[in-house]
Amino acid sequence: MRTPGILIFGMVLAPCGWILDLTSTVAPNWRTIHSLANEPTDLVVEQGIWDICRTSTTSRSQQCSQQSNDQIYFNSQIIPIAKGMMVASLIVTVIGLAVATSGVRCWKDRPRWILASLGGLLIFCSGALTIIPIAWYTHILTSINSTSVKRDPTKTDDIRVGYCIILGYIGGIMEVLGGFVMFLGICSCCGGRNPASCMTAYTFSLEVQNKLSCYTAKEKMY
């Protein structure tokens, strides 16, 4: 028996989303700040949830490990929450993949639909754990205080979304979609049938009921 398509879809999206979430978690680029006061024009400050880097766009030189110099930023409410939720998301995804793998069982004739659906539910939750802190951080992107940034009061703050936010959104959405599709397999837990056969059986039963009701109505007329 071939592995059902919904399980293949979920088992492909989930690891890809996990890799993107891992990159988003560890890379120091949740936001970038440009046009700093009393600083070279080519200096860009890159801030993540674990580290801060100062990068020169001209020489491409980079100085990281700046977290000890900016405790105000790392003490902001969103930072410890984002750390906890992103790490929890990575762990839950690994657990979900382990459970789903034991349920999919590509080497067997039939998958264990309940285990596969449970793994899909865990993967879905891990995607939500990623999207929530990233959406929150994006919402307050320009209002997070930082001592490593010397803003110029005569200019508008040039604060931009970092690539970690983009990767996190994509990874979280991939996990949500993959987990949701795998969870749909819960409707096939009885007898190991796939969703298509379940839907076919359901449609057939409705047709039989309609024919019986029509036949009964005709008998009453006669």
Chain-wide mean pLDDT for the chain? 79
More confident residue, 51 or 5: 51
Q: Can you give the pLDDT at residue 188?
A: 57
Say whether both 16 and 75 belong to one domain.
yes
Query: What range defines the domain where residue 208 resides?
Result: 192-222
Q: How far apart are CA 157 and CA 36, in angstroms?
A: 8
Q: Is the pLDDT of residue 52 over 80?
A: yes
Question: CB of 20 within 8 A of CB of 173?
Answer: no
Say whether both 198 and 137 belong to one domain.
no
More confident residue, 36 or 94: 94
Domain of residue 28, CATH code: 1.20.140.150
Say whether both 103 and 9 belong to one domain.
yes
More confident residue, 121 or 198: 121
Q: pLDDT of 100-122, one tens digit each?
A: 888 776 556 666 778 888 888 99
Assign 215 a pLDDT band (cuts: 50, 70, 90): very low
- The structural domain count of the chain equals 2
Q: How many helices (H) and strands (E) does the chain have?
A: 6, 5
Say whether both 104 and 22 belong to one domain.
yes
Say whether both 16 and 86 belong to one domain.
yes
Say whether both 218 and 167 belong to one domain.
no
Say whether both 125 and 18 belong to one domain.
yes
Say whether both 93 and 25 belong to one domain.
yes
Say whether both 184 and 197 belong to one domain.
no
Say whether both 75 and 162 belong to one domain.
yes
Say whether both 50 and 157 belong to one domain.
yes
Say whether both 105 and 159 belong to one domain.
yes
Question: CB of 14 within 8 A of CB of 179?
Answer: yes
Q: pLDDT of 121-161, one tens digit each?
A: 999 999 999 999 999 999 998 888 887 666 666 666 688 89
Q: What is the DSSP string of 15-68?
A: HHHHHHHHHHHHSS-SEEEES-TTS-TTEEEEE-SS-EEEEETTT--EE---GG
pTM for the complete prediction? Answer: 0.76
